[in-house]
Amino acid sequence: MEKNKKVFRSEDFALLDQRYRTQLINSMPGIKALNLVGTRSAEGQENLAIFNSIFHVGANPPFLGMVVRPDSVDRHTWQNIQATGSYTFNSVASNFYSKAHQTSARYAQEISEFEAVGLGVDYKEGVTAPFVAESLVKIGLELQEFHRIECNGTLVVVGKVVFVEIDQDLLFEDGVVDLVKANSVGSIGVDGYVETTWIDRLSYAKPDKMPTTLLPK
């Protein structure tokens, strides 16, 4: 075996320290998208939680998905989504990532994470759930469907995009959102935050033509 290589096999994972295993498996896939998910209970109690499991499902019609940990214990975000069908995704920027991180604390259901961590609440017409006032990319969703992963009870939740608000100067002409200009941060593992920078944008790949840059000179 090569030196300085760490190898894990199936039988090794159960023997690892729980926190080590969580960090290892969570960080291996790479830098992930980071969003604050805003919800409100049927009684009107606001909730905010950080998620690094948001993903694209489809563009026409527009669907986004997220992974929710097993609901064998209280999951306020998921409970609120089930109760109202409404939730929001809110980008996390470098000037408030620490506040976003703090929303992962296990606050009691009657406590608003918005108030607890010091983030502003913003409501938009036609969307029941609250947005984060500080976020430059705001997405409102309605629950479309969900699927339970049988091997561990995790939930895959799919929502239909019903509202989007983005600063005009954060949009390229072809519709790409400039998350670099928005100072959005990404996530590594469960507690790591990284800034983003453009390396390049490349033209659509074709077998008979090498890609060219799409970024302005």
Domain count, the chain: 1
Q: Give a yes or no: residue 211 inside a domain.
A: no
Task: Tell me the CATH number at 181.
Answer: 2.30.110.10
Sequence-ordered alpha helix ranges (H) in 39-151:
76-84, 97-102, 113-117
Per-residue pLDDT tens for 41-55?
999 999 999 999 999
Asked, for residue 158, whether it belongs to a domain, the answer is yes
In a domain? residue 206: no
Cis-peptide, bond into residue 61, ω within 30° of zero: yes
Classify residue 12: in a domain, yes or no.
no
**Measured between alpha carbons, how far apart are the two ends of the chain, in Å?**
47
Average pLDDT, the chain: 95
Written as six digits, the tokens of 180 are: 């670099």
Question: Residue 1: its pLDDT value, please?
Answer: 47
Q: Is the pLDDT of residue 141 over 80?
A: yes
Q: What are 83-95's pLDDT values in tens digits? A: 999 999 999 999 9
Give the range of the structural domain holding residue 86, as residue numbers without chain letter.
Answer: 29-195
pLDDT tens for 104-132 read 999 999 999 999 999 999 999 999 999 99
Name the DSSP letter for residue 13.
H
Q: Is 136 exposed, middle or buried (0-12, 13-18, 19+ CB in 10 A)?
A: buried
Residue 180 in any domain: the answer is yes
Judged against a pLDDT cut of 80, whether residue 67 lies above it is answered with: yes
For residue 2, what pLDDT band results from cuts at 50, 70 and 90? low
The answer as to whether 203 is a domain residue is: no
